[in-house]
Amino acid sequence: MTLLKSYGILSFLVWIGMTGPAEAQSPIQTGADQTQQYVPYLKGKRVALVVNQTSIIGRKASVDSLLSMGITVVRIFGPEHGFRGNASNGAKVADDRDAQTGIPVLSLYGKRKKPLPEDLADVDVVVYDIQDVGARFYTYINTLHRVMESCAENNKELLILDRPNPNGYLVDGPILEDDLHSGIGMHRIPIAHGMTIAEFARMLNGEGWLEQKRTCKLRIVKVAHYSHDLPYDLPVFPSPNLNSQQSILLYPSICWFEGTIISQGRGTHMPFTVLGAPALRGQYEFTFTPVSIPGMSETPLHQNQLCYGLDLRKADLSKLRQKGQLNLDWIMELYRAYPDKEKFFDRSQSTQMGDFDKLAGTRKLREQIIQGKSETEIRQSWEPGLSAFKALRKKYLLYP
C-alpha cells in the first residue's frame, strides 16, 4: 500500500506496509529489511549508496545483499568514520575502493562534503541507509542534508531506508543560535530532535533548509511497527565511540562535555559512559585512564593520566525516559566539583572536537552554569524556542 502526501510543490512518496491492531506487538522492522518494498524498484537502475557499517539487511551488509539480489551498485558514499566505520571521530577519510566488492568508495568527510555532479552523472537513484542517534551534533544528519542538496541540484531521487531513532522519545535542549552554526550544528533544532532520518529529511525539504530552498525528491521506506516511545537496541553500533547501548542513550546528555576539561572516556573501551579528570582526585573514588586506541581515539584528553569522576555504565536511564529530558545534573555537578573553574570550559586545555558553546548551540548555558543557575531557570531559557520546535516537528512525523 502506498501513501502519498503533499507539502506545497513537493510530493513525498512513502511506502508503508499493511498495519492493524493484530500487528501492534510485531517486532520493529527497518526500512532496509523490507526488501520487497524497494528491491523491485531498484532493479535495472544504476544505484549509489550512502552507507556505513550500520547499513545491514538482516545481518549482512546492505551493499553485499543488494549485489547478491542483482542490484547494480556503481558507487558508495561514506560519512564520518568511513564506509566500514573504523575511522576515529573527526578524522578525514580518503576516497578508496571497497576491497570486498571493488566498488569505488567516495568520502563525504574529507575534501568532498557532498556528491559532486560528476559523482552522480551515471547514477539513476541514490539510497541513504545510515543509523542515526537523534542528536544535533551527531554528523550523519549533516551528511543527509548535503546529499539531499546534491540530489536536488542534479535532479536525482533519494530513496531513504528509514531506521528507528534509539533516542526517539527525546526532544529537548536549547535551539541552535544562528551565530553558532558549525559542523557540529547546522540546523535550528534542539540538541535532541526526536526524529528518524526520514522524518528529518521531510523537515529539511518542508522548511526550505536546503541551499536556495531547493527540494529533494524523496522516496521513503518506513520502519514497520515503530513508534517514537519504543525502546530500540541497535544491532550495529553507529561509530567507534558509541559502542554500547548505554553510551547511545547517554550521548545526548554527555557529548557537550567534549567542550570541557572533563573526559567522557575517549581512550577507553567505555566511552560516553564515564566522566572524569585528574584534578578531581580526592572528590571521587571511581577512576579510569585514557590511552591511545587506534580507530577510536588516538590522542584522547588526559592521555595516560588517572582520571577521577562518575561511572554511568550502570546508571538507571529510565528516569530520563520518563521525564523526556536531557540530564543537566552531571554537567552542573562536575563544574561545582572542579577546583580550577576558569579551566573547565577552556578549549586551550583540550584536544577534543568541539567547543562547549557550539555543542550546546548557545552561549547562555555555559554562562548559566558558571552563575549557578538552577535547572528550572536553565530550562525556562530554552523557551519559547523548544515548544515551537515541538510543534513544527509534528508536521513531519511518520510514526506515532
Residues of the chain with pLDDT below 70 are: 1-25, 80-94, 347-354
Query: Where does 237-363 have alpha helices with state H?
Result: 245-254, 318-323, 329-337, 356-360
Phi–psi pair at 385, nearest 5 degrees: -60, -45
State the pLDDT at residue 81: 57
- Distance of CA 93 to CAs 51, 79, 89, 112, 142, Å? 14, 8, 10, 10, 16
Partners of residue 94 on adjacent β-strands: none
State the pLDDT at residue 50: 97
DSSP 8-state symbol, 176: P
Grid cell locating 264: 567522557
DSSP 8-state symbol, 61: E
State the pLDDT at residue 354: 58
Domains of the chain, earliest start first: 2-235 (3.40.50.12170), 245-362 (no CATH)
- Distance of CA 203 to CAs 59, 179, 354, Å? 30, 21, 26
Q: Which residues contact 115 (CB under 8 A, 6 or more apart)?
A: 48, 77, 106, 108, 126, 147, 150, 151, 154
pTM for the structure as a whole = 0.90
Q: How many CA atoms lie within 13 A of 86 on its CB side?
A: 2
State the pLDDT at residue 82: 58
Phi–psi pair at 137, nearest 5 degrees: -90, 0
State the pLDDT at residue 320: 85
What whole-number distance in Å separates Cα of residue 329 and Cα of residue 70? 52
What whole-number distance in Å separates Cα of residue 319 and Cα of residue 214? 41
State the pLDDT at residue 109: 81
Burial of 380 (0-12, 13-18, 19+ CB in 10 A): exposed
